[in-house]
Chains A and B, each alone.
Chain A
Amino acid sequence: MAQLICDHLTLGYDAHAIVRDLSFSVHAGDYLCIVGENGAGKTTLMKTLLGLHAPISGTVHTGDGMRPNEIGYLPQQTLVQKDFPASVREVVLSGCQGRCGLRPYYKKAEKKLAEKCMERMGLEGLARHSYRELSGGQQQRVLLARALCATQKLLLLDEPVSGLDPKAAEKMYELIDKLNREGVTVLMVSHDVHAVVKSASHILHIGETIFFGTKEEYLDSETGQKFVSVRGGVQG
């Protein structure tokens, strides 16, 4: 049983379709990279998976014990966050908000979970630091810890290394790989061919042609070869 099943999705705004007839499924422990040109509908697909945007037709199911709100989301940073006064702990803890319902405070177990997620992301000792004073890489790790508070099953990462320097990006990928090895399913939207080829188990390419399959199949396919060559070739 798959954790996430998309069945004949048509995505777009109003009646204007961007992506047509998209079907794929994600199983526990998969590492799926979603690639495609700008404007191909990656963001729309992500919003649909998160339930923030209704598809024109088709359905998104969850299975294997997943509930629809159990996707841990790592959004791109917004302008608001740039000078937001918040401690690392406050940000990470806010990942537990989905569990609270209308309860106005956090339980002890949730605070403990937040501690643990910070530890997993190598943020111990930074809990009382101000989020806005951290480096870009550290900020991304804080947001990843927050996503982990929301779920331990499936993470949806939107361009997790955009704006990071190569070293911080490398560290970010290592952390994501580690989480994936520990059993967290990863869905990642990325422009970075290098990472796609190195870590992913499956590829979803959306655009003029839609491709879904394992990484090996993708690299053999015409779509895959074209994409990789345009994006600067495979290294290593």
Chain B
Amino acid sequence: MKQVHMIMEYLQYPFVRYALVTGVLIALCSSLLGVILVLKHFSYIGDGLSHVAFGAMAVASVLNLTNNMIFVLPATVICAILLLGAGERAVVNGDAAIAMLSVGALAVGYLLMHLFSTSANVSGDVCSTLFGSTAILTLTRGEVWLCVVLSLVVSAVFLLFYHKIFAVTFDESFARAAGTNAGAYNFMIAVIIAVIIVLAMNLVGSLLISALVVFPALSAMRVFKSFRSVTLCSAVLSVFCAFTGIVVSILWGTPVGATIVVIHILAYVLFSLAGMLR
């Protein structure tokens, strides 16, 4: 009861409400896209792109941009298109390209932050960008609105193109043969992923984003058998874990991102057990 009372008290503060709203929306979007990425065997793209976003963030802070989204979002989108769009024509093949890009961006980002940072606590800055420690609790009103709008757009696109996304993901060559423009959908998916990753950096930091993308889908796949039930379950699960994680981290003062991921791990274990029992 004491905890409930505490939560009610915390909810009076706008920053707590902002954190919950954005956290839940980001979790919803990342789980929707996560199902597709896991099924396309692209789980590591989230990871690679988040490192790119980290590098871009470093560049933005070196350039002293007031709103670093202006730089980070386009940079990440371009990398996503390059990674997903290159597909068969790529010079370096898929996983090698991702590995190269992700460590490269990480190194350049860290180096830049170290060389040009104006703040006294460089390792603190790096740590909070990587693990998202308190960023979610310091969101401004504008950032919250941006998050809300982008999340709604992503969900709407997903709903509208649900059947086409299924067809293209399940069997790209069949979809192409039937006249579906698979290239355009892959492009769309790449852009959406990049947007989600930049948004999610605020929530869990760039190192832990893949967890947000991958865990809900994998947990849902342990128990459910159809695409629709997997998608629904992973959305619900992701929202639940993000909500619980934020509440727990507020109550006990734990880092937000890591808490959410640990709850996802627990959920995965539970779902695996349930899957075995079925």
Binding site for B on A (CB under 8 A): 50-52, 69, 71, 73, 75, 78-81, 83-87, 89-91, 93-95, 97-98, 100, 104-106, 128-130, 132-133, 146-147, 150
Contact = CB atoms under 8 A, between A and B. Distances in A.
Contacts of B179: 69, 98
A199 to B, nearest CB: 23
A81 B171 contact: yes
B166 interface: yes
B175 to A, nearest CB: 6
B163 interface: yes
B221 A94 contact: no
Interface residues of B, number: 30
A95 B175 CA distance: 8
Nearest to B164: A97
Nearest to B161: A104
11 contacts: A52-B173, A69-B178, A80-B39, A80-B41, A81-B171, A83-B221, A84-B39, A85-B224, A86-B166, A97-B164, A97-B178
Nearest to B225: A130
Contact of A87 (B173, B221, B225): B225
Nearest to B173: A75
A95 B178 contact: yes
B17 interface: no
Q: Which 10 A-B pairs have the closest CB atoms?
A: A98-B178, A130-B225, A87-B226, A69-B179, A73-B177, A50-B177, A94-B167, A97-B167, A86-B227, A85-B230
A132 B180 CA distance: 24
- Interface hub of A94, A104, A132 (most chain B Cβ within 10 A): A94
Contact of A80 (B159, B162, B163, B170): B170
Interface of B: 39-41, 159-164, 166-167, 169-171, 173-180, 221, 224-230
A78 B174 CA distance: 11
Contacts, number: 94
Contact of B177 (A52, A80, A81, A133): A52
A91 B179 CA distance: 17
Contacts of B230: 85
Contacts of B176: 50, 52
Contact of B174 (A75, A129, A133): A75
A150 B178 contact: yes
A225 B178 CA distance: 37
Nearest to B180: A97
Given A85-B230, A86-B227, A97 B177 contact: no
A97 B170 CA distance: 12
Nearest to A93: B163
A84 B229 CA distance: 12
Contacts of A130: 225-226
Contacts of A80: 39-41, 169-171
Contacts of B41: 79-80
Contacts of B163: 93-94, 97, 100, 104-106
A98 B159 CA distance: 18
Contact of A73 (B164, B166, B169, B174): B174
Given A69-B178, A80-B39, A106-B163, A75 B225 contact: no
A133 B278 CA distance: 13
A49 to B, nearest CB: 9
